[in-house]
């Protein structure tokens, strides 16, 4: 299927006053410097004050004196940069020469912002044979190749050559370790070539001293070293130099993508679960994606990329390059992206977005079948080497077997619209002013609230009928068979927290004492959980360990963000997970994966084939209603005190659900929205069509593309419909996917309705001077606000 693919706070209710943010949106990077560097120095000071400390980066910045880029001089886009447009916006012409010019520009941008500068390719000065051993049907040869100035550079290489005639040319598979894929590929008629280019054996490490005038970082050094490996392979008579491939997994997957970009004699690259810096775009990862991101990667692994990259923490929308452009640098040569369905390092949806963008270059160059996808069951580490070789056999012309790129998230708005026959009669939808009050009186608002809810339901789509099973015919899950997990069970290895990640993450990260998942001691040692089942969905109900039987706890439903791999969990975060923060504060917390995310990934692809006139957001609202039904029947949850707490996508979901379901007692929405009617493409966020064209959550919104002001409702209406129940909006000022001043204005308009309802103190707005993440400090403020309401 083709793809188109301190803490600054303002609280209206409490009267807290805003301080100076430099400009209306709190983004110092949005205004260009007047030549004195003040904006850049202010941004650097914000980084030092706000971001977690990275000693290596701080030492580099102080030694170099380098300031952040003048972000105002860089294009702003929260969507992927177009590979077929130059940095200045000019389109790339239809000739190969024009693409080569654009390719050169992309390489230069990567060297400036990501990899550091590369030296010219060196010449080999000497090859030293270390040993050679004859095996049964193959020969193993270990060599040391010396190169560069005075032969100061060297790399160890191991080749495993299947037996055969000297005239028989064989393809080669390069791996960034000596053993590599040798055991598999020699059985398939390949030469295995492993080199010392990984954490355990890194012959690229000394290159920073061999080439002191170049500043290429650790992974780029290993990638650059591949040129020497290919030069050596070219001296072997049995090597087919037109069919050289390279593979790498995880951090080595990032590296081999760089290697294929630098060394154009590589005919094919297989990049497995690369995470960010490889095939997962920085723009679609990080805290918003529930996984590793630019800030965490540059802090946790400060030598992998050039330190300059860290300046873009939270400002990824200003980075001129991204994963899709790295993939485009390989074109028209072959590339395969591989990952696990619930791979906590990869992000299948984001990788498919990178694929769809890079594919435009492959099509322009006349090689549309050179780019491949392979998803396999499992978490990080899941791989199918033989399937990867099957793909490579076709690319190298050694097999005619069909290869099908199977998308996990195959969404295309245009295809949906054509198949569903959906359209909007725009004449029936008058334009709305972004500044007009929602109503002049309580009576006027009450008179229009019903039609607003009807409009919201229409936008969410048709809800298929739901069969209600009479209570007398239900078969409840026996309490005696319901798994309950507490600190004792976890200590015995009966891991249940967080249950939906077992056995992978709990066993090798959380139970081992890791802190990178926000699931850490002592909080995790003081929480218990049990499973709740509703409408075919499995949820986990967390609560303070030792809660007496019969206790009714205020309950929060945690609504996760765009966490494609892991659903309600997140990774590469040292901030305490909201589940633990809330249970520590005395709440019970229900968590489950939203449709199309985490353990429910398989629901995404067929959804609109099955329900073309519905929406995935509508299904999420329906699931949330069912979750409340289940909580109302639960012995632990206080049915009258059920709140929803959502982050990014979950923040949007919580507002939709509470506007339509009065059983929800309160809402917390963190980085959950920017008003749709003013979210136009030229403003550089994801645009109103993020819900329709990008994520496929509410397709009917896309019918108003280019006519945003005619949308029948906006987020100010959603907030107002929840009144007088409490609503807290948390909008970080540096959130790159929102316009903070627009959010502020929407809250102000909704505030009038809360005032009508004698509930002015129940609509709050917090504006931390941070980017779109959820920190410990924010959670403390949120929980304090919840308890006071």
Report the pLDDT value the prediction gives residue 29, as an integer from 0 to 100.
40
With a cut of 50, say whether residue 21 has pLDDT above it. Answer: no
Tell me, what's the pLDDT at 20?
28
Q: Give the model's confidence band at 19: pLDDT under 50 very low, under 70 low, under 90 confident, else very high.
A: very low
The model's pTM is 0.92
pLDDT tens-digit profile of 366-404? 999 999 999 998 888 888 999 999 999 999 999 999 999
DSSP 277-345: TTTB-GGG-GGGGTS--HHHHHHHSTTTS-GGGGGGTT-GGG-S--HHHHHHHHTTSEEEEEEETT-SS
Model pLDDT, residue 786: 97
Q: What pLDDT does residue 39 have?
A: 94
pLDDT > 50? residue 264:
yes
- Residue with the bigger pLDDT between 267 and 685: it is 267
Q: Measuring CA to CA, which residue among 599, 605, 473 is closest to residue 538? A: 599
Using pLDDT thresholds of 50, 70 and 90, give the confidence band for residue 25: very low
pLDDT higher than 50, residue 144: yes
Q: Which pLDDT score is estimated for 15? A: 29
Name the nearest CA neighbour of 313 among 44, 517, 117, 650. 44
Q: What is the mean pLDDT of residues 155-159?
A: 98
Q: What percent of the chain has a predicted confidence (pLDDT) above 70?
A: 90
pLDDT average, residue stretch 587-597: 97
pLDDT band at 89 (very low <50, low <70, confident <90, very high): very high
Nearest to residue 788, comparing CAs of 753, 754, 762, 758?
762
Supply the mean pLDDT for the chain. Answer: 91
Check residue 468 and give its pLDDT: 79
Q: What is the pLDDT of residue 571?
A: 85
Residue 318 CA, distance from chain mean position: 17
Per residue in 460-505, pLDDT tens?
A: 999 888 887 776 675 555 554 455 555 555 444 344 456 556 555 5
pLDDT given at position 405: 96
Helix (H) or strand (E) holding 638: strand 637-647
Contacts 24+ apart (CB under 8 A), 507-516: 515/574, 516/300, 516/571, 516/572, 516/573, 516/574
Parallel/antiparallel/unpaired status of strands 527-534 and 484-485: antiparallel
Query: Which residues, at least 6 apart from 33, have a Cβ–Cβ distance to it below 8 Å?
Result: 39, 40, 70, 72
Q: Which residue has the higher pLDDT, 466 or 349?
A: 349
Q: Looking at 51-60, 291-300, 501-510, 570-579, which range is the least confident one?
A: 501-510
């Amino acid at each position: 299927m083709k793809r188109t693919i301190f803490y600054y706070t303002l609280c209206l209710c409490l009267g807290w006053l805003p301080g100076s943010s430099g400009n209306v949106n709190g983004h110092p990077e949005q205004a260009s410097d007047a030549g004195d560097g003040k904006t850049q120095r202010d941004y650097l000071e914000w980084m030092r004050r706000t971001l977690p400390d990275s000693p290596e980066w701080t030492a580099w910045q102080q030694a170099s004196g380098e300031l952040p880029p003048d972000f105002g001089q860089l294009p702003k886009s929260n969507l992927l940069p177009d590979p077929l447009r130059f940095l200045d916006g000019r389109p790339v012409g239809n000739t190969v020469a024009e693409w080569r010019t654009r390719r050169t520009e992309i390489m230069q941008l990567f060297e400036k912002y990501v990899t550091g500068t590369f030296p010219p390719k060196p010449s080999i000065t000497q090859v030293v044979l270390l040993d050679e051993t004859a095996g049964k049907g193959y020969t193993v040869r270990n060599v040391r190749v010396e190169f560069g100035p005075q032969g100061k550079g060297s790399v160890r290489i191991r080749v495993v050559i299947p037996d055969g005639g000297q005239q028989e040319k064989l393809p080669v598979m390069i791996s960034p370790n000596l053993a590599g894929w040798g055991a598999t590929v020699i059985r398939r008629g390949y030469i295995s070539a492993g080199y010392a280019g990984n954490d355990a054996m890194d012959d690229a490490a000394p290159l920073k001293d061999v080439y002191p005038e170049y500043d290429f970082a650790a992974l780029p050094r290993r990638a650059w070293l591949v040129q020497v490996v290919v030069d050596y392979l070219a001296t072997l008579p049995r090597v087919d130099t037109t069919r050289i491939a390279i593979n790498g997994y995880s951090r080595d997957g990032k590296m081999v993508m760089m290697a294929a970009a630098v060394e154009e004699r590589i005919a094919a690259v297989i990049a497995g679960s690369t995470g960010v810096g490889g095939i997962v775009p920085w723009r679609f990862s990080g805290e918003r994606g529930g996984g590793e991101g630019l800030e965490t990667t540059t802090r946790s692994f400060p030598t992998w990329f050039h330190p300059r990259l860290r300046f873009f923490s939270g400002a990824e929308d200003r980075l001129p390059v991204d994963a899709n452009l790295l993939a485009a640098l390989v074109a028209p040569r072959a590339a395969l992206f591989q990952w696990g369905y619930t791979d906590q390092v990869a992000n299948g949806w984001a990788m498919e977005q990178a694929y769809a963008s890079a594919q435009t270059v492959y099509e322009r160059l006349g090689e549309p079948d050179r780019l491949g996808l392979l998803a396999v069951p499992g978490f990080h580490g899941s791989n199918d080497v033989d399937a990867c070789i099957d793909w490579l056999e076709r690319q190298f012309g050694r097999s005619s077997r069909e290869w099908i790129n199977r998308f996990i998230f195959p969404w295309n708005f245009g295809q949906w619209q054509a198949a569903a026959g959906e359209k909007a009669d725009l004449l029936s939808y008058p334009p709305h002013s972004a500044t007009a009050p929602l109503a002049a009186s309580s009576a006027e608002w009450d008179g229009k609230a019903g039609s607003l809810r009807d409009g919201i339901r229409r936008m969410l789509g048709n809800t298929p009928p739901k069969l209600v099973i009479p209570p007398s015919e239900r078969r409840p899950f026996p309490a005696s068979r319901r798994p309950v997990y507490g600190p004792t069970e976890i200590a015995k290895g009966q891991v249940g927290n967080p249950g939906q990640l077992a056995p992978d993450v709990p066993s090798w990260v959380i139970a081992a004492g890791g802190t990178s998942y926000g699931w850490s001691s002592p909080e995790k040692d003081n929480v218990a959980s049990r499973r709740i089942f509703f409408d075919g969905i499995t949820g986990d109900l967390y609560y303070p360990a030792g809660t007496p039987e019969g206790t009714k706890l205020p309950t929060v439903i945690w609504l996760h963000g765009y966490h494609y791999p892991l659903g309600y969990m997140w990774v590469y975060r040292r901030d305490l997970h909201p589940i633990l923060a809330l249970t520590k504060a005395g709440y019970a917390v229900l968590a489950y994966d939203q449709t199309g995310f985490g353990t429910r990934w398989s629901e995404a692809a067929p959804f609109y084939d099955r329900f073309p006139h519905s929406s995935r957001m509508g299904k999420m609202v329906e699931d949330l209603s069912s979750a409340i039904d289940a909580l109302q029947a639960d012995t632990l949850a206080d049915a009258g005190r059920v709140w929803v707490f959502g982050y990014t996508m979950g923040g949007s979901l919580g507002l939709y659900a509470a506007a339509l379901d009065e059983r929800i007692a309160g809402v917390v929405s963190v980085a959950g929205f920017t008003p749709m009617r003013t979210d136009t493409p030229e403003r550089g966020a994801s645009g109103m069509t993020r819900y329709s064209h990008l994520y496929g959550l509410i397709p009917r919104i896309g019918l108003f593309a280019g006519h945003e002001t005619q949308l029948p409702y906006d987020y100010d209406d959603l907030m107002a419909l929840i009144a007088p129940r409490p609503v807290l909006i948390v909008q970080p000022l540096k959130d790159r996917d929102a316009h903070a001043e627009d959010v502020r204005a929407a809250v102000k308009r909704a505030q009038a309705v809360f005032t009508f309802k004698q509930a002015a103190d129940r609509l709050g707005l917090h504006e931390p001077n941070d980017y779109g993440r959820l920190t410990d400090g924010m959670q403390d403020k949120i929980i304090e606000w919840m308890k006071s309401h």
